[in-house]
Every structure is written in structure tokens, then in C-alpha cells.
Amino acid sequence: MTVEVTEIRYVVDPGGRITGNTRVPGDKSISHRAVILGAIAEGNTRVSNLLEGTDVLATVAAFRKMSVQIEGPESGEMFIRGVGLHGLSVPSEDLDLGNSGTAMRLMTGLLAGQCFDSRLTGDRSLSRRPMRRVIDPLILMGASIESTAQGTPPLKVRSVERLSGIRYVLPVASAQVKSALLLAGLYSNGETCIEEPRPTRDHTERMLAGFQYRCERTDSTVCLAGGGRLRGTEIDVPADLSSAAFFIVAATIAATSRLRLRSVGINPTRNGVIEILRSMGASIETENEQEICGEPIADIVVRSAPLRGVKVPADLVPLSIDEFPILCIAAACAAGTTTIRGASELRHKESDRISSMVAGLRGLGIDTEEFADGMSIRGGDFDGGVVNSFGDHRVAMAFCVAGLRARSPVEIRDCGNVVTSFPGFIRTASSCGLRINELR
């Protein structure tokens, strides 16, 4: 049975400076993939610094229902006894993925190739999110998947004799769709190739290589052949750049601030937020760069800096899609106007992030124009007031950062889902200088 998140409000006192040396939780995207690939690998996989947010824990619970033995997580440590590509057992009940769109889409691809039926469900928010972009290409591969008439969960994935590899051109750049098709490709006859209109995060490809499964990339196309084997490994999950972005912007817009964020993943398919902020004038440096488990990481050092409005380049949009809520706060603190276009994907997140951010910014006195695929934001001064996060964790955390530059307190409503991606957010934020009170 799905458990809805408790109603929580945040009240942010205005002002403050951001200082310190901290590490944010592990990367959510990499944590999901570590659990998924570890479960279907042969042998054992040890994961450290796993994100213990509710989204990732829902993925863990789903594999336990399919008879995968998983120890932990405890303090970010997890041990997975892999069952191999064909070792999953039929689940005795629905696989409830809570609020996680990533888990829903990736698991649909994985389950499309199993020899048993399964049913994927989620909470009220996830049950409104579109899944046709994953379902349609999987059906082209021979999958049997049923959804609501609107193409939303719950999803019924039925057993088929065998999937067939396809060559598929993504109509919209999406790492989740690409990853779902690659996971289905593991169970397919022949080769599966996905061509992207623009580069998206490549965590799945990198992690497949870490599990010794051959995956080839040439230009904008990634291919793999079915019928191989994954071998258990050790994975150290880098700190999440999406979570770090809230503090990068906080230290940028708060006067006399300096902050070090340790061991953050700086995958080139994820660092669009850093490039955009630097183009706006942010002072962001990377130190101690290294590579762990195929993923580049570094310490990120941020100092206060005046920002200027920019037109966000189209090629950076898919590389920063999850960071746009906090980029909107940076834009509101910049001199001039910032324009975001080509970001219609934002309408299909935990909330419609275009309308959610426009409503919140206007409610705090910022001049904002909404487009079908983005928005323009004229920099100004934040008033205090009440903002609805619409149950979206990234919207909630973004408006917490806005409180640093507000004239009076900012109240953010419906913040319960922050734990899906950033457990301990209030504690970390408070240690760096944000003044947030949690009310229930």
C-alpha cells in the first residue's frame, strides 16, 4: 500500500552567509543504477555512500520483493547478492516505487524482459506522470505493457517470449528513456541502439562498463547487444551534483560567503549547471579532481559573486534539467533577464516545474514570463511570503535558498518529499548558514 508523505512546511528567516566544508548525500541517479545492476549481476556488489532517500529505498524494496538478498543500507553501505540476468523471482505483490519517476521508467525497461508478470505502482504524484515515452519504444521491442488511458501508472508489464533489439531515435533527449531501453536491451535478441538528439547523462553506460558489460558509444548513439553477463563489483557513489547545486547557488548569492563541497560528481553529461552559473558570473572552482568507479569527482569551492542574466544555451538544457529550479533562483538574483527555452521536459517532473517556479517567483515579487518550453526571469528583490512547492522536492529546496535574499521570512508548503532526494537537508543547510525551521 502506498503511504503518502506527511505534510511539512519550511519557514526560512531572511539573510545570512554560507560557509563551511561539507559533503552532500550520494548521487540519486547513480544510486538507483547501482541497485538495479547489482541485483542482476552475477556475484556480489558492495556499494558505499548510497543515497538513503525514499526514492532509492523504493528501488531496494522492489528487488527484495523479487528475492534479491540485500544487506543494508546502513550509513550509506549496502551489500547486494546478485542473481544474474535471469534470476529474479515473480513478485508476490505490486512493486510500489513511491515518488520515483527514475525508478518507474528504468524498472519498466528491466521488467519488460522478464519471464513473469509484474505491476508497478506509485504515490499520487507518480501516478500522474507520463510513461508513454518509455512504453512506446519498449512495445516496438516486443514488450507487453499496459497503462491507464492517459499513459500513466500503474503499469502492468506482462511476460513475453523474447524482446528484439531496435535502433531508436529519441524524439526528446531523456537519460531515463535511454536507460530503460538499454536495460531492456540486455534481454533482447540482437543489438539495441539509441540515438540522442542531444547528449544526456551517461551514468548507465559508465556503470555497465563497471559491471564488465560491453556498451559502445559513437557520436550521439549508444549500442549494446543482448545476452551478455554482468559481474558484481564495488561502487563508491559520488556526492550528488543536483543536491550540491542548491548550496552552490546559496554561496553565490549570499554576501561574504565561501563554501567547499567535497567529492561531488562532475560527470560532463551532468555539469551543465556549473557551466550556466559560470556564464552568469559565479565563482566556482574545482579541486582534487579524480575518477572513482568510472565517474569523475572533485571538491567544488564557491565564493560570493554578482550574477548577470543570460540566455541559457540549448545544448546545456538536457545537461542541467534537474537543476533548473535552483537556476531560477540564481536568475532572480542576477542583473538583467535570464531566458530558458527548450525545457519542456520540466513539465513532466514531480510537478510541472515551469508553472511551479513561475508561480513561486511571482508570489515573491519577481517579474517572470512563462512559455510553453521555459520562462524568462527578470532579476529583482525577493519579498517574503508563502510559496507552494506542489510536493516537489527540488522546488521546495530552491525556495529555501531564495530566503537568503528575501526582505522577510519565506514559507514553503508541502515539503515532505524533500527526503526523496536529500535526507538531512535541514541539518546540512543549517550547518552551512541557512536558517530554516521545519513545521509539521
Return the closest-CA partner of residue 36 out of 275, 203, 272.
Answer: 203
**How many alpha carbons fall within 13 Å on the CB side of residue 285?**
9
Do 46 and 76 contact (CB within 8 A), yes or no? no
308's grid cell: 548577470
| Nearest-5° Cα angle at 155, 152 to 159 | 150
Q: Specify whether 322 is catalytic.
A: yes
Cα–Cα distances in Å, from 389 out to 24, 344, 353?
Answer: 21, 19, 9
| Helices then strands, each counted (H, E), the chain | 12, 25
C-alpha cell at 133: 515515452
Total count of residues recorded for the chain = 440
Return the CA Rg of the chain. Answer: 21
Report residue 130 as a C-alpha cell: 507520463
> Do the beta carbons of residue 30 and residue 396 sit within 8 Å?
no
Q: Give the Cα-Cα-Cα angle 28, 328, 8 (nearest 5 degrees).
A: 60
Instruction: Classify residue 43 as left (phi > 0), alpha (psi -120 to 50) or beta.
Output: left
Q: Rounded to an integer, what distance in angstroms lies between the CA atom of residue 118 and that of residue 253?
A: 47
> Hey, what's the cell of 272?
551543465
The Cα 248–Cα 301 span in angstroms is 8
CB-based contacts of 219: which residues, under 8 Å, 6+ apart?
none
CB 108, CB 131: distance < 8 Å: yes
In our burial notation (b when 16+ CB lie closer than 10 A, e otherwise), range 4-17 reads ebeebbbbbbbebb
Alpha carbons 220 and 197: distance in angstroms, whole number: 7
How far is it, in rounded angstroms, from Cα 180 to Cα 175? 9
Q: For residue 303, what is its C-alpha cell?
A: 565564493
Residue type (1 letter), 307: L
Q: What is the DSSP string of 198-228?
A: S----HHHHHHHHTT---EEETTEEEEESS-
Which candidate in 27, 322, 392, 414 is catalytic?
Answer: 322
Any idea which residues carry the catalytic annotation?
322
